[in-house]
Structure 1
Amino acid sequence: MRTLFIGAVCVALACAIAPLASAKPTSGWQWAPAPPAAIQEVGAVVLGDKVYVAGGLGLPGQVGLFSNKQFQFDMLTGAWSEVASFPVPVHHLQAVTTSGKIYYLGGLEGAALIPNGRVWQYDPKTNELTERARMPQQRIRGATGAAVHDGKIYVAGGQRDYLAFGYFDEYDPATDTWTALPDLPNPREHLGAAIVGDKSYAIGGRFVIQPAFIRPTDVFDFSTGSWSTIGPIPHGRGGLAVVPIGDMIYAIGGEGIGPSFTDNEVLDTRSLTWSTREPMKQGRHGIQGVASDGKIYIAGGASYSVYLPEADMQVYVP
């Protein structure tokens, strides 16, 4: 097990920006303080009053083409800062949180999109990154979807060697162990995952090559240990953000061929029906959205297919 300790380096926008939390919430999309660098294919998560954005593809002269940086955004002050970095650059990773810790997993390395299978645990209290048990060798992949249920992390889909997989695995941080579960009915990568109640939803994604989108939504029932498939997402796409708020799951942005999508579609998990909401201000893909206090935060992302990272953040109030 390898532990890194790196002192927080302030790169904040600081006092010149009014705190986002002090503004009166309004429905729809708004711009928020931009991250310190243009990044896409990031992992993002919210813990307490902070949003964390890590890894990704960036720009030379900023974080580099392949980033090992981790940034935090303070929702109370509107300031960004840099915290502990990964030992190696990683992109197409997922971020989740449980028991006061952040977990980054399911990443790829380099231009060859090599999955590393690595899991890092980040403790915001100590600013330490600790490497945990890797994915089982035969199930290593990146560009996955991940979500948390009852303290355990569930990783769906993903890609390796330019193939999409339907793997579904459970990682238990308490025991640092992996367990293979039944595969998704529809293999996919660049998907989004969300858990509402006792069900896990695999939404969107593709079969590696654009525009081979996977539109059916696969649903895993934790009470029965089995999968089912429900109605398709209206606009198929990969590289989207999938964010649950209450009984609703928002599917935002995404990648096709050309400019990134602005779509904002929502699945009502009670009626299992889709509807359309206000689109993003500007399309983004390579994003992981997070929700806090009824707002959805999306930092960075690319404005065009494959690669064009941006340094901005959009916030949506349903």
Structure 2
Amino acid sequence: MSTLSRRPAAALLIALLYLGACSQNSPSQPETVIETPGGETPSPTAPAAPGQLKATPSTSGIALDWADNSEADLAGYQVSRAAQASGPFTPLTPELLTTSAYTDASAPAGTTSYYQVIAKNKTDQASAAATISALRPAPLVTPPLSSAYFYNSIADQAYQMSESQGRMLGGKLYTFGGFDALKSCCAPTNRAYVYDPASNKWTALTAMPAFGATHAGLAEDGQYLYYAGGYIANTAGTSQIFGTKEVWRYNPQANTYTRMPDLPIERAAGQLEYLGGKLHYFGGTNIARTQDTGEHYVLDLAQNATSWTVAAPLPNPRNHLGSAVLNGKIYAVGGQHGHDDKLVTQATLNVYDPASDTWTALRDLPSPRGHIANSTFVMGGRLIVAGGEASHTHAIGNVDAYDPATNTWTALTPLPSARFSGVAAAYGDGFIYTGGSGTRGGWLTKPMP
């Protein structure tokens, strides 16, 4: 190639080298950074879906609660509701929530609502939806304040029953454990059943963990049932141990049991109640059955607590007492001091106010009685105590109603036969009583016209 032909290429190379040098010597340009209104650099990804979503239904609405998201650029949460799982979902919170809780007071009563909860960041990126459903119960219909009732027999249970735990939930009566009628005294059974008043049929449920329990406290929160403490079986399942720390949750929809945080100490023959997102365990005896206890322990379910805290102790510590929640307060009634042939029944009635963490003495039962742990309930705005034990093995059929508005007791029509340690609960404008005193049968009551 000639010298002349090389000159254009050389000139081009020199020009390129010159431009590169100029570029290196020029001032550097600032990097472009996009900031959110709050000043934070936006996350390259959407927030995580809200975790640990829970729904607590009540007659006043459905309370949703979930764990806080940890993203630095989190803007808030949006809650939506639908009438079916497939949607469509309608937002309930036009403005994003800044707290991880929401109560849907407009949820339709008597039907299931389906929810989605999403998290959004400050660039409006949305997480996947956390989902849950819950049935808001229909408002309670206060039955007439009758004193006269007639009794109709209901279907027998599969086995004789005494010292079982039982509660009404969703219009059905659930019973757990009790003494095993197929074994010599006194070993617990793990059998569990549900009674449907509409069909007058008992159906077996998944057995309780291990050998079951007697003398446990039982409560419900509108969605689950919980039991705490109680007499449990020895390793052979042939006799009983007089106390345990164990607490369990039963899910009626899944027919499964889940272990909950243990009580601080072994307890039995005390009571368990649910109020305001918290479980309250109080009263009972120590594991040696040498001391009646008034300790009062609280587990905050709404805050996913992992341990129990201490609240005001129950006055007149006692065991085998009854309890119920009425008008936002916990009532503790009757019970006994001591055990078996040395027991002394009690007539004491106390009410606990969580707002002030105090117990107040009210008018005593008309007569002392114990073994009413699962036959004390609320009906028509009154506290009902059905049956019980006046002294060791001395069953009574008395049914008494306490009216908190007047601080008075009224005698109702007694049970057709004396029973103690049975299970009873309000149903419709009357109540159901089943088992107790080693029997299988029971009754559904209705007020006399």
TM-score (normalised: structure 2): 0.60
Q: Which has the larger radius of gyration?
A: 2
Once the two structures are superposed, residues 223-253 of structure 1 have per-residue CA deviations (whole angstroms, 9 ceiling, x without a partner) of: 2221111121111011012111232001111
- 1:39 Cα deviation after fit: 1.2
- 1:150 Cα deviation after fit: 1.7
**Structure-2 separation of matches of 1:285 and 1:68:** 20
Residue 108 in structure 1 maps to residue 236 in structure 2: no
Q: Write out aligned runs for 1:185-200 (5 A).
A: 185-200=315-330
**Structure-1 separation of matches of 2:407 and 2:231:** 33
- Paired letter, 1:79: K
Determine the structure 2 residue equivalent to 1:22: none
- Paired letter, 2:267: R
Give the number of aligned pairs. 285
Determine the structure 2 residue equivalent to 1:135: 263
Once the two structures are superposed, residues 86-117 of structure 1 have per-residue CA deviations (whole angstroms, 9 ceiling, x without a partner) of: 12221112322114111122311244542112
- 5+ long unaligned stretches in structure 2: 1-147, 234-238
Determine the structure 2 residue equivalent to 1:117: 245
**Structure-2 separation of matches of 1:265 and 1:277:** 6
**Structure-1 separation of matches of 2:430 and 2:226:** 22
Q: Tell whether the 8 Å contact from 1:143 to 1:158 is kept in structure 2 after alignment.
A: yes
**Structure-1 separation of matches of 2:293 and 2:256:** 32
Determine the structure 2 residue equivalent to 1:12: none
Q: Write out aligned runs for 1:183-222 (5 A).
A: 183-209=313-339, 210-222=342-354
Determine the structure 2 residue equivalent to 1:231: 363
Residue 282 in structure 1 maps to residue 417 in structure 2: yes
**Structure-1 separation of matches of 2:153 and 2:411:** 21
TM-score (normalised: structure 1): 0.83
Once the two structures are superposed, residues 11-56 of structure 1 have per-residue CA deviations (whole angstroms, 9 ceiling, x without a partner) of: xxxxxxxxxxxxxxx9322221111111111110111132111100
Determine the structure 2 residue equivalent to 1:312: 441
**Aligned-residue RMSD, C-alpha:** 2.1
Q: Tell whether the 8 Å contact from 1:44 to 1:94 is kept in structure 2 after alignment.
A: no
- Paired letter, 2:444: V
Residue 155 in structure 1 maps to residue 289 in structure 2: no
Determine the structure 2 residue equivalent to 1:6: none
Alignment identity in percent?
24
- Structure 1 residues 112 and 70: alpha-carbon distance in aligned structure 2, compared to 1, 3 A threshold: closer
SS of residue in 2 equivalent to 1:116: coil
- 1:316 Cα deviation after fit: 2.8
**Structure-1 separation of matches of 2:308 and 2:382:** 29
**Structure-2 separation of matches of 1:262 and 1:27:** 13
**Structure-2 separation of matches of 1:287 and 1:94:** 14
Once the two structures are superposed, residues 150-208 of structure 1 have per-residue CA deviations (whole angstroms, 9 ceiling, x without a partner) of: 23222221112212111122223341432211111110100001111132111000012
- 1:61 Cα deviation after fit: 6.5
Determine the structure 1 residue equivalent to 2:197: 75
Quick one: higher RCO (CA 8 Å, sep 6+), 1 or 2?
Answer: 1
SS of residue in 2 equivalent to 1:200: strand
**Structure-2 separation of matches of 1:51 and 1:112:** 26
- Structure 1 residues 244 and 208: alpha-carbon distance in aligned structure 2, compared to 1, 3 A threshold: same
Q: Tell whether the 8 Å contact from 1:45 to 1:97 is kept in structure 2 after alignment.
A: yes
Q: Tell whether the 8 Å contact from 1:55 to 1:93 is kept in structure 2 after alignment.
A: no
- 1:211 Cα deviation after fit: 4.2
Q: Tell whether the 8 Å contact from 1:193 to 1:202 is kept in structure 2 after alignment.
A: yes
Residue 92 in structure 1 maps to residue 215 in structure 2: yes
- 5+ long unaligned stretches in structure 1: 1-25, 303-308
**Structure-1 separation of matches of 2:281 and 2:210:** 21
SS of residue in 1 equivalent to 2:397: coil
SS of residue in 1 equivalent to 2:299: strand
- Structure 1 residues 298 and 106: alpha-carbon distance in aligned structure 2, compared to 1, 3 A threshold: farther
**Which 4+ stretches in 1 moved above 3 angstroms?**
110-113
**Structure-2 separation of matches of 1:113 and 1:213:** 23
Corresponding residue to 1:253 among 384, 387, 391? 387
